[in-house]
Amino acid sequence: MRLLLFDDYKLGVWTGEQVLDASAAVADLGYHSPQEMMRMIIEDWATLESRIQDAADAASGVALTDVTCCAPLPRPGQLVCLAGNYLEPQKPERGAFNAFLKSPNSVIGHEGTVTLPATDATFFHFEPELALVIGKRASHLSEEEALDHVFGYTQFMDVSARGLPGGFFLGKSWHTFGPMGPLLVTRDEIANANNLDVRLWVEDDLRHDISTKDMDRHIPELLVEVTKVLTLEPGDVVSTGTHHFGLKPVQDGEVIRLEIDQMGPALAVKCADPSGRTWS
């Protein structure tokens, strides 16, 4: 199923052409936040899947352009991002595993605005990534069981400020630096998440055209590495890294669009720089 949150965090289902309102299926869950609602759906998917589908089937569809999309995981408990994780012309051999925690409060939705902070960064990058949504508690996983702990997938941009001191915190966790969505696609919809084309445009300039098959560590192995260090919970997000070939500065007024095969409509955001800086 292809889920989304829209308008005032209503639960929706994407048909491929329209948004169907499925919020009636979760009206009695007693959640206190949109993120808690999504966690409850993930944890009780075996029961709620048919209810959500029935509610969607009874709804009238609306166009995606007629709704306001929210991030499908508005405030994940943990947002883990891999550093690099792709084989590249400059790095054709496997490197050491590396990852970091990005602020969950950086997450924004489709057609949101990424605001570049007035800090002394060299420039800013938008990194296109496939992100995993965790479906059940995961700790010390083996590769054989890793995918059973994935609920689904979503599109994610790891926005980065370059040239700042302080490592990943100052480089990655500014407000609005985590565009996500618009869909959460359940794992059964994707036959092989390590064989998806990933493309990112800045305006009409195609900056990235890569495949998830070129990950340094494929999804089962990267989840083994992450869960050696920390326990993942339902609704947490693990973003799988990017290919750095093609990264160029992004600046005020530009629209950035990420499209991953089988993941539904492209994720698009606008870049705003109140400081009015430019980069070549």
Question: Across all residues in the chain, what is the average pLDDT?
Answer: 96
pLDDT at 95 exceeding the cut of 90: no
pLDDT of residue 75: 98
- Is the pLDDT at 244 greater than 90? The verdict is no
State pLDDT tens for residues 7-23. 999 999 999 999 999 99
Domain boundaries, the chain: 2-70, 79-272
Residue 46's pLDDT band, with cuts at 50, 70 and 90, is very high
Confidence of residue 113 (pLDDT cuts 50, 70, 90): very high
Q: Provide the CATH topology of domain 79-272.
A: Fumarylacetoacetate hydrolase; domain 2 (3.90.850)
Q: 31 phi and psi, to 5 degrees?
A: -80, 160
pLDDT at 92 over 90: no
Query: What's the pLDDT score for residue 138?
Result: 98
Q: What is the pLDDT of residue 91?
A: 78
Secondary structure letter of residue 26 according to DSSP: G
Kindly indicate the confidence band of residue 212, based on its pLDDT and cuts at 50, 70 and 90: very high
